[in-house]
Amino acid sequence: MTTHVPSADGESPVGKEFPEGLPIGDHWVEAPATEDIRFPYDGTVLARAPVGDTGLARRAVDAALALRERVGRLPSHIRRAALLATHEAVASRRVDFERLLVLETGKPLVDCRIEVDRTLLTLLTAAEEVARLHGETVPLDLLPSGEGLLGFWTRKPIGVVVGIAGFNYPLLLAAHKVAPSLAAGCPVIVKPAPQTPLATLWLVHLLREALGAADAPRAAVQLVTGGPEVGVALTTDRRIGAVSFTGSAAVGHRIARDAAPTKVLLELGSNAALVVAADADLDAAADAVVRGGYYASGQACISVQRVIVVDAVREEFMARLTERVAQVAVGDPRDPRTRVSALIERRSTERVRAWLDEAVAAGASLVAGGRVTDGMIEPTVLLDPDRTLPVWNEEVFAPVVAVRSVPDLDTAFDLVNDSRYGLHASVYTSALETAFTALDRLEVGGVVVNEVPGFRSDVMPYGGVKNSGAGREGPRFAIEELTVTRMAVIRPTTKKT
């Protein structure tokens, strides 16, 4: 693989560290093809990256299965040491990782810095969770038949894990696949999004180097690139233990059907809602919509998309919101001041533009933005869109926020729940009663009070309900998903002498 990514010292960090090909088995093997990876902002070719195929996918599964028992028996101190060493390796290269993420995702630098911070926390937390992977005793004598029996359970690795990551946070999402898998004792094969393989390749390389230094098999972590056919080959192989997928709902549901009965963990899309109550701090709520609606250029599954405002404060809130949206900096993602830049691909921009045109034609008002300037969608606020249109009820994945007003909070909570998605939602209020009502009524995986729905600490359980997915991420919770309980029932015997 060749690349033109500049590092802090003017050299290419990827070209300097990467072997060529793909990390499959104990070595890097030649890929059958390569493709251009482009900087979304201006289309510049960033790298020629290796592209795998179904044959390499099967080869990776074979290698992982051959190591399944060995990886499952790796001592805790080795798994922990490898994760800690990878944490240190990424930390020492963080500036180059940030620069690479900007170039391959097109995300603003501020968001890429946060992504590296969160990746480091994920690696560190996964290492710490190795020490907490244990079971419990069970009081079997609650039934008379259990008298004299000793019972306890342990957790065992589920087997080979296939992790498929999305394009928007390639380094972080890959870390959430590989780090818990290794901590659990599972060989893992990761497949990055075709548009953004570089940061994931680098992470896997560093982790394999750490495994080798700890006298553990490098093939415990492998990577295969490629298109949908590679994903199908990996996820439908009945020999694997689990699939962990982050991406669109349509693809995730297809994987779940095709992979059955293999365990499938899905972190899918959403159209996150933010409710503004009559007693909310309107300045804080308006700030939250701007901060939560436009970070990562809106390409985050829990970015603010739907804003539901109680009628009593609609006009006052809208005045604050439009004032703030006008101040959002749009431009080159390498500029630290930029908050919105180009989407990952031109066809994504074209789709969003069509959705906005459709909404306006149906009666919605463009309060801010709505234009495409130099290939970038301006930060957009859409008022009163039809609830049946995609811009309201599907995932926009762009710097677009849609606002509707309702007479009261009961109606607001009903409107939040009137969605096939349910990942995160938030409510701005000064009443504790409203906060607890939201916690009780909102049909989502996470309720956030007086903060953006996009708040996520990587140590918390993260996942959705309804079409937003199944299972939970966060190292502790992912490790539980990737292990199975094994019950031990023992009747001690006394040998007669």
Tally of CA atoms within 13 A in the half-sphere of 144 that contains its CB: 0
Which parts of 153-310 fold into alpha helices (H)? Answer: 170-184, 198-213, 228-235, 249-259, 282-294
Q: Which of 104, 115, 129, 267 is catalytic?
A: 267
> How many helices, marked H, and strands, marked E, lie in the chain?
17, 23
Query: Could you tell me the two tokens for 309?
Result: 């405002």
Query: Could you tell me the two tokens for 61?
Result: 């599964």
Annotation marks residue 267 as catalytic: yes
Query: Could you tell me the two tokens for 277?
Result: 């109550």
Rounded Cα distance, 348 and 414, in Å: 30
- Provide CB contacts within 8 A for 359, sequence distance 6+: 382, 385, 386, 389, 391, 392, 402
- Provide CB contacts within 8 A for 175, sequence distance 6+: 119, 122, 123, 203
C-alpha closest to that of 242 among 485, 493, 19, 483: 483
Rounded Cα distance, 58 and 63, in Å: 9
Contact 179, 206 (CB under 8 A): no
Rounded Cα distance, 200 and 206, in Å: 10
Question: Residues in the chain, how many?
Answer: 497
Annotation marks residue 186 as catalytic: no
Give one DSSP letter per residue of 1-45, joined into a string.
-EE----TTSS-HHHHHPPSSEEETTEEE--SEEEEEE-TTT--E
Residue 407: helix, strand or coil by DSSP?
coil
Rounded Cα distance, 454 and 292, in Å: 6
Tell me which amino acid residue 306 is: R
Rounded Cα distance, 423 and 419, in Å: 11
Rounded Cα distance, 60 and 66, in Å: 10
Tally of CA atoms within 13 A in the half-sphere of 120 that contains its CB: 16
Q: Which of 301, 395, 473, 480 is catalytic?
A: 301
Which residues are the active-site residues? 267, 301
